[in-house]
């Protein structure tokens, strides 16, 4: 099986779960994120990162309502570890940093937190709340922090049950063009 087929299989098997207390499924959410990236002509690297940013939720064993029960699934780290087997840092790091980017924006943009959904505010608290000024400095020292912030904004928009997106297959060429270790997986 190719890596991309494996990724699409994960979407098939686990993507119909509800996205963290929102009115869309995980698959709809990730497709809407990718669509938002594509609409900004963000390029294949960030379109792939947007499509894959919550792949950690397709990999972990926690229930879809784990955040409501006070469990942080740390899906961004799980995603980073899984993705780095096949993709370079320009894809994996924005994904790994997308939760930190929310904490960052809550600190540097006072209005940002008012726009978050209630589910997102709930998970923010589990994830450590807004960043301290030390954490802001540390976050801005990451090579890919700007990309992580862009990804975060697409993530925040991608929760509309009325939005239609292209199917997963539409994104295969984008994934294929940024895959750096196209080994087969078992």
Q: Which stretch binds Fe ion (CB under 5 A): 49-57, 69-77, 86-94, 120-128?
A: 49-57
3-state secondary structure of 24: coil
Nearer residue to Fe ion within complex by CB, 2 or 59: 59
Q: Smallest distance from the beta carbon of 14 to Fe ion, in angstroms?
A: 14
Q: Smallest distance from the beta carbon of 155 to Fe ion, in angstroms?
A: 4
Determine, following the binding rule CB under 5 A, whether residue 54 of this chain makes contact with Fe ion: yes
Question: What's the token pair of residue 109?
Answer: 């943009």
Determine, following the binding rule CB under 5 A, whether residue 155 of this chain makes contact with Fe ion: yes
* Interatomic CA distance for residues 53 and 34, integer angstroms: 9
Q: Smallest distance from the beta carbon of 3 to Fe ion, in angstroms?
A: 21
Determine, following the binding rule CB under 5 A, whether residue 76 of this chain makes contact with Fe ion: no
Q: Smallest distance from the beta carbon of 133 to Fe ion, in angstroms?
A: 26
* Interatomic CA distance for residues 184 and 181, integer angstroms: 9
Q: Smallest distance from the beta carbon of 57 to Fe ion, in angstroms?
A: 8
Contact of 157 with 32, CB cutoff 8 Å: yes
Nearer residue to Fe ion within complex by CB, 18 or 180: 18
* Cα angle for residues 92, 95, 97 (degrees, 5° grid): 110
Determine, following the binding rule CB under 5 A, whether residue 22 of this chain makes contact with Fe ion: no
Contact of 181 with 47, CB cutoff 8 Å: no
Specify which residues 179 forms β-bridges with: 87
Which positions lie near Fe ion, rule CB under 5 A? Answer: 54, 155
């Amino acid at each position: 099986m190719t890596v991309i087929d494996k990724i699409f299989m994960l979407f098939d098997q686990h993507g119909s779960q509800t996205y963290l207390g929102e009115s869309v499924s995980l698959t709809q959410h990730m497709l809407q994120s990718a669509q938002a990236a594509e609409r900004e002509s963000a390029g294949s690297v960030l379109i792939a990162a947007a499509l894959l940013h919550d792949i950690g939720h397709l990999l972990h064993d926690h229930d879809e309502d784990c955040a409501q029960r006070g469990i942080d699934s740390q899906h961004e780290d799980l995603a980073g570890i899984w993705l780095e087997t096949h993709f370079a840092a320009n894809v994996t790091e924005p994904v790994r940093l997308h939760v930190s980017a929310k904490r960052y924006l809550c600190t540097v943009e006072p209005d940002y937190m008012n726009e978050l959904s209630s589910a997102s505010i709930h998970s923010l608290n589990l994830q450590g709340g807004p960043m301290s000024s030390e954490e802001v400095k540390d976050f801005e020292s990451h090579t890919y922090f700007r990309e992580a912030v862009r990804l975060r904004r697409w993530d925040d928009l991608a929760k509309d049950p009325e939005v239609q997106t292209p199917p997963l297959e539409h994104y295969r060429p984008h994934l294929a063009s940024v895959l750096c270790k196209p080994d087969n997986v078992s």
